[in-house]
Amino acid sequence: MMLRPLFVFVLVCLALADALHAQTQAQSPAKPVAKPAANDSARDPGAVSNGVYRNKTLALSCKIPAGWVLRTDELNAPEEKKEEEKKNEEERKGDQPAPPASSAGAKVLLAAYSRPPEARAEEVNSSILIAAESAASYPGLKEAAQYFFPLTEVAKAQGFTLNEDPYEIAVGTKTVARADFHKNVGTRVMHQSTLVMLSHGYVISITAIGGTDDEVEDLIDGLSFTPGAK
């Protein structure tokens, strides 16, 4: 299977390193968390309302702790700009239209943090990140657990340690693959759990980060699936 730096893990590491420098955006009811491209309707961005992210296509909901800030649009901006530039270039050359974004690249569906990433502090910046990557980017990918082979390699390269082999857990009506990692950062320990499932031709990953295992578990407890998602 293809081994490459994974989009999701790179974004997580950037966020934890306080690499984002965007202004905090106020959360408003039913505000879309990511705008799909015109040819990307298959990838439902979902929306946040009353402190809960909901995605009808995935039948997924995720509680966002009170006071957290969203950074979904900022994380998507570079990828969306790159795709738009590529499309414009090919149109100028008179070639075939660029392939839809849904067949390449990745999209952040939700990025939420306990504090703005640019606000430095001693404690770990707890966060939730949900992303969708085209499953076609991983030849031979048949099961969600296989995604952890390349992910673990990237995690180790970033200084994370895998706690144990990936395993399956039930979240509401859905069974997903899960892997847990930790990393010593000075006097702190960063705990990360990533849940993965395959849906609608995408690899859907849900990553929760906290300063303790309990923090991570609380974030995962805020996830739920309802019947209907395939």
Q: What is the set of domains in the chain, with CATH numbers?
A: 7-19+29-36+43-225 (3.40.1000.10)
CA distances from 122 to 21, 131, 181 (A): 18, 27, 20
Q: How far apart are CA 81 and CA 108, in angstroms?
A: 14
Per 3-state DSSP, the chain is made up of helix, strand and coil in percentages (nearest 5) of 25, 35, 40
Residue 58: pLDDT band with limits 50, 70, 90 = very high
Nearest Cα to Cα of residue 27 among 89, 57, 72, 59: 72
Average pLDDT of the residues of the chain? 76
Residue 207 in 3-state DSSP? strand
What residue type is assigned to position 189 of the chain? V
Lowest mean pLDDT among 27-31, 115-119, 139-143, 175-179: 27-31
pTM equals 0.74
> What's residue 120's pLDDT?
77
